[in-house]
Amino acid sequence: MAQKYNLKYSIREYTAEDKNAVISLFRNGILEHVYPAFFKAMSDPDHIGVALSISMAGYVLGGSSYFQALLFGGAWAGLVYYCCHEIYEGYMKRRLGTDMADIQASFLDNPDNGFWVAEAEVNGKSKVAGVVAVTGRRGEDEDESDGSSGWNGGMMGAQEIAQDAGDGSYGEVSHMVVSFACRRKGLGAQLAQKAMDFCKERGYSRIVLDTSSPQTAANSLYQKLGFVQTSSHSNTHANRWFSKLARINVMRMEKFI
């Protein structure tokens, strides 16, 4: 049992009884990125310019109507929000229909994989407060294993990775979510450490994870833990115009162990 910042919790392997709580936590954790993504997208100079232009058009077409100006500008903002929502909801549905559909078979039945939950005592009751998973990749090509394409270079180049990657095996960390009530209390770092310890035990040469640009708090944590961005892309698996309007970048971060 770990205790930090007056929060009592334990990290243990997932069991079937955790399924509903884990799915709910995962669903909420993914969809909460929609608003940060929307505000980040709307602060882009291009979106500001378009919103102002559309508002002005509404003002003129409405006969100097401020209401029409707000309506036109709001329609553009609504379109951007819809794009952000579709991207994260689409990701959530894909994962719930694949590896999260049967956590036991996807993770626990394979010794190279792992799935853990953090159980915390909140208001005198025990509840699932966080999750993290690891998928082992042994000698696989990354682009083939994760299905992404169009990666751009980051702080560490492909040649450096190839030189340091050893046998090419690595652990892919995913599904790391901490409930809102238990954040900023060290739980996220403990879950990440659990995943890293597992990767060391399995002999992986490095740890890989994918994150998105609006996840600023998570990205800051990963950097503090020694992860560096190695590449990025804008392929969110949604309609390409949705991706362009949402301005979301998917970033790959890695750490050698």
Nearest of 236, 235, 240 to residue 34 by alpha carbon: 236
For the stretch 51-61, pLDDT in tens is: 999 999 988 88
Please give the residue that has the higher pLDDT: either 202 or 2. Answer: 202
Q: Are 58 and 66 in contact (CB under 8 A)?
A: no
Q: Is 103's pLDDT higher than 90?
A: yes
Reply yes or no on whether the pLDDT at 62 is more than 50. yes
Calculate mean pLDDT across residues 235-249: 87
What's the pLDDT at 147?
A: 45
- Per-residue pLDDT band for 158 (boundaries 50, 70, 90) equals very low
pLDDT over 90 (residue 239): no
Supply the mean pLDDT for the chain.
87
Domains and CATH numbers, the chain: 2-34+96-256 (3.40.630.30)
Q: What is the mean pLDDT of residues 186-211?
A: 94
Secondary structure letter of residue 181 according to DSSP: G
Q: Which of 34, 181, 46 is nearest to 118 (CA)?
A: 181
Q: Which of 135-144, 176-185, 211-220 is least confident?
A: 135-144
**Tens digits of residue pLDDT in 75-95:** 999 999 999 999 999 999 999
Say how far apart CA 211 and CA 218 lie, in whole Å.
8
pLDDT tens-digit series, residues 33-46: 999 999 999 999 99
Q: Residue 2 pLDDT more than 70? A: no
Classify the C-alpha dihedral 237-100-221-127 as positive or negative.
positive
| pLDDT the model gives residue 154 | 54
